[in-house]
Amino acid sequence: MRSSQRNKNYDMPLTHQLTEKFIPHGLSRFATTKNPLYTKLKNMEKIMTKKTKKSPAPVLACIITGQARKTSHNYLNDKAKRLGVASDWLLNNYVSKFICSQLRAGKALSDLQTTDQKISDQLLTDLVKKNSKSRVTDFWFKDGVYQTAKVTPKKVKKTEPTVDVESLTAKVNEEQAEAATAPAPEPVPVASFDEVLDELTQLN
Name the H helices within the chain. Answer: 2-10, 14-18, 36-52, 73-83, 87-92, 97-104, 109-112, 121-131, 165-181, 193-203
Residue range 60-101, pLDDT digits in tens: 999 999 999 999 999 999 988 988 889 999 999 999 999 999
Whether the CA torsion 44, 45, 50, 51 is positive or negative: it is positive
68-70 vs 59-61, strand pairing mode:
antiparallel
CA–CA distance, 82 with 153 (Å, rounded to integer): 34
46 vs 120, residue with greater confidence:
120
* pLDDT mean over 199-203: 72
